[in-house]
A and B are shown apart, each in its own frame.
Chain A
Amino acid sequence: MTATPARRRYVNDKPAQAVLLAGSLLFMTVGLLLPLGELAVKCLTDANGAYVGPDNFIRFFSAASLARALYHSLYVSLMSTLAALPPAFLFAYSLTRTTIPGKAFFRHIAMLPLFAPTMLLGVSLVYLFGRKGIVTSGLFGALPWLGIDIGLYGSTGIIIAEAILVFPPSVMILLTALANSDARLYEAAESLGANKPEIFWSVTLPGVKYGVTSAAFVCFTLVFTDFGVPKVVGGNYGVLATDIYKQVVGQQNFNLGATISVVMLLPTLLAFIADNWLRRRQEGVVNSRSIPLVPKRNATRDLACFAFCLCASSVILAVFLTALFASLANLWPYRLTPTLRHYNFRDYAGGGYLAFWNSVRMAGYSALLGTAMTFGSAYLVEKTRKFAWARRTVYCLSLAPLALPGLVVGLAYIFLFNSAVFSVAGREIPNPLSRLYGTMLLLVVCNVVHFYTVGFLTASAALRQLDREFEAAAESLSVPFYATFRRVTLPLCLPAVIDIAGYFFVSSMATVSAVIFLYTPDLQLASVAVVNMDDAGDSAPAAAMSILIVAANIMAKAVFELASRRARKAAERWRNR
């Protein structure tokens, strides 16, 4: 056997990769940069498009009610964060550092609020703590001693509901932080004779402090930008999110809406940057030589933690069961006989089952496009070698959406896609993108961009776990990159791909903030229907629709979970003899 001539027939990967990268960049440009650009233009101009400089911002801060909304937003965000973090920490601690039974059950229950549109929490709280709520009325007068009126409408209601809302993400972050511990530190502390509280303060807390701050930033941002809860239980307690809605939907004052959304964006961005900065410092705390901590039995502590987890889970379950109960009650609170009449949405706002199925379709498409875009982009960034600047740009753009509240994204979209013409330097240019307005595609793109970062980071992490040389090995075998992607990369990342799709589905199904400005009469959506029905005072059908969304999400999640488990099993087959 002698050496063959050096040149070999091959497919040049470069043009195809260039096209794909350009596609990814184009998507982020149209889906992210251009809308944000329009938003920036809108907050610096008046209704007629004339440049007014900071006038809108001056108007914002001089209007007492708007400035107060900023204060309200900051106040409830801070209070909700403070209210949610200690129980979330205790919950995550119980699941990682104790030997209590039922950890998987508790973990699943804790994630339940992620499946619901945020309005559901508000609606449930009204049924629990409103004037005629279950608690307020002392279980409808059966337990009069229970009857306390907490004065739900206003900041109290918002803080309670938001604390429940941000519970799952903070538990998730703290679980990760607490799981990444080094048993050697604890052994060292014990051998030095430290007692339990000392160990907690000197080892446990410092080890998770970045997790705690990260959870705090996430809580703050989520509450600060949430729209659903204050819309339902806020009463007259205006916050920035509801003010944007009021300005844009109620008074069609887009410029002021844009201005408020920029005001809302700033603290969010700050939190995002601070969190990233802190996270970078955290690296290297736990290394590959660390020994994972295996919790030891401690009867008193475990019993207390179990009781606490039971309580926390009960609260979350109570919220969901209340919504379910209310949606089935004939005439709250006077006739509680069960009925399905609230599930017949015919006489209510929002579009009923048509809206529900629209939402399901939208969530399905978002899962598809979102997974394709995030995984594809992450693949190009992580696994190709050409066009370094383009890959770096894609990477940076992919992180940006995490810092953008849904309302801001939705608003930016309506500016870009709903104007028939752009006026540039006094001249009017027809806007080709306006054809997308009112289409399913635009809703899907909006969701994909809104939830982009989490999908992208999940994909990146999965891809980084693959051998860096797979691509080089395949290339040296003259196998084109797409063949390697199909035969190796994708099958190996299938569990992650399914997780990403599930995330996009569930998030898109429940979201309201990004799509509330974009839905059209042809394309009503379930979550928006919840807002509209609640607006009209039809809380029982609103609860019913929320329950449908939760049910769809639980079912979808179960399917995705099953698929993911099967994919993981396949991976196991490759590993084990």
Chain B
Amino acid sequence: MTAAPEKGNGGGAFPGRRAETPDRGLCVRGVCKSFDRTPVLTNVSLQVAPGEFVCVLGPSGCGKTTLLRVVAGLETPDSGSVLIGGGDVTRIPTAGRGVGIVFQSYALFPNLTALQNVAFGLRRRETGASSIRQKALELLDLVGLAESAQKYPGQLSGGQQQRVALARALAPEPSILLLDEPLSALDAKVRQSLRKEIRRLQRRLGITAVMVTHDQEEALTMSDRMVVMHKGRLTQFASPEEIYRLPSTRFVADFIGAMNFLEGWRAEGAIARYGGIDIRLPAPLGADGSVVTLAIRPEDVQIGRDLFPDENAFVATVAEMEFRGAGYYLTLKALTALKALTDGGKGGMRLEALLSPLRASQLKIGAGDCVKVRLPRERLICFAEDGTAVGFAGGGPE
């Protein structure tokens, strides 16, 4: 099983494609759902390949948990359909879908031992108590908790409980594993190790998995592909690298990682102009004269003492300098933008840059210093006024 997406297609490419029915995996087609006439999911479509690990990421209230519950059958969509393993399960209750669910709260039955919890879903499937026990023990062993089989959940740590929950969900051999913020109740160290554990198990079993999370780091590190949702809509569906590098909308760019947004630039071919600064872009933006926003990640901003020979370089002062462990965050003010600032424009051009400690000591930079700043052309992203990426970035949303 390979973790890479099948094609290098950008987010939002699936709806445009002809809907094929895969043999296995998960397919969500045009799902809409409202609660009390408030739309929670609007026309969400998604295709997860067999054995793929997909994270659904979004701010709270974006509908990601509802999407998971629709897939699980715990909510019925107002329209649209859900296919699991090629079969339409939209009208089939949870019990018949063959999904394993791991909940944020673990939802372990406190009056049953770890073993009984894992065996809970095995009653009907298997015959003979000993084979159930055998299988449950195997699963506990798989998550490394064989010696805690007779303990009650209340006697286990949070991480251990979540492992039991994982084993319980996997016990009836579901075709899809659904994880609803499974790690958010755990502390950072445990979370790290469980991330790896979950991926290891998922790869080993080759099971299709969908995980809901609000933790971008989790999504970026765990997913084969990830979904970013916003206001009930699927905004981008792509590999973590692509989502980070080429966010399809301004929202995605802002939501994932840190991003500088430089507002109010006027496009002229492959050049964006603002307050006397010309920035060259990797490709033309389309309509000349349209207002665009440039975006660049702080770690992509280059800082130097000397004049760069290249384009897209300008002089700025270091307004603030903040130590953040892994590096320094500099708040930069472009000198040439001072005029625009006094004009009461959009606040001038303010930039944040991430500087490694090594580089910072090489450059001997301090607050108030004047530095040369360069925005590498290939690292720039550009958004139209409606927030969609334009020109060279990945395709916009539907």
Contact = CB atoms under 8 A, between A and B. Distances in A.
Interface of A: 1-14, 385, 467-470, 472-480, 483, 487-488, 491-492, 570-571, 573-577
A379 to B, nearest CB: 16
A487 B117 CA distance: 11
B195 interface: no
Contact of B110 (A1, A5, A492): A492
B172 to A, nearest CB: 6
- Chain B CB within 10 Å, residue with most, of A468, A475, A478, A492: A478
A472 B74 contact: yes
Contacts of A2: 206
Contacts of A472: 72, 74, 94, 101, 103, 107
User: A475, A477, A483 — which one has the most chain B CB atoms within 10 A of its CB?
Assistant: A477
Interface string B70-82: 0011100000000
A7 B101 contact: no
Nearest to A473: B107
A479 B121 contact: yes
A478 B95 contact: yes
Interface string B140-173: 0000000000001111000000000100110111
Contacts of B206: 1-3
B244 interface: no
A483 B175 CA distance: 23
B274 interface: no
Given A469-B103, A477-B172, 12 more contacts: A1-B206, A3-B206, A5-B87, A7-B87, A472-B72, A474-B120, A476-B100, A477-B100, A478-B98, A571-B110, A574-B153, A575-B154
Contact of A6 (B87, B103, B152, B172): B87
Given A3-B24, A7-B89, A472-B94, A487 B112 contact: yes
Nearest to A474: B120
B207 interface: yes
Given A3-B85, A7-B98, A574-B152, A477 B120 contact: yes
B97 A8 contact: yes
A385 B76 CA distance: 11
Contact of A5 (B93, B98, B111): B98
Q: Is the interface of B mostly helix, strand, loop or mixed?
A: loop
A476 B94 contact: yes
Contacts of B174: 3-4, 476
B93 A576 contact: no
Interface in B98-119: 98-101, 103, 105, 107, 109-112
B96 interface: yes
Given A1-B173, A6-B86, A476 B99 contact: yes
Chain A, interface SS category: loop
B346 interface: no
A466 B124 CA distance: 25
A10 B73 CA distance: 14
B272 interface: no
A391 to B, nearest CB: 16
Contacts of B105: 467-469
A473 B206 CA distance: 22
Contacts of A576: 154-155
B93 A475 contact: yes
A488 B111 contact: yes
Contacts of B109: 470, 487-488, 492
Given A385-B74, A467-B105, A492-B111, A12 B95 contact: yes
B50 interface: yes
Contact of B74 (A7, A475, A478, A491): A475
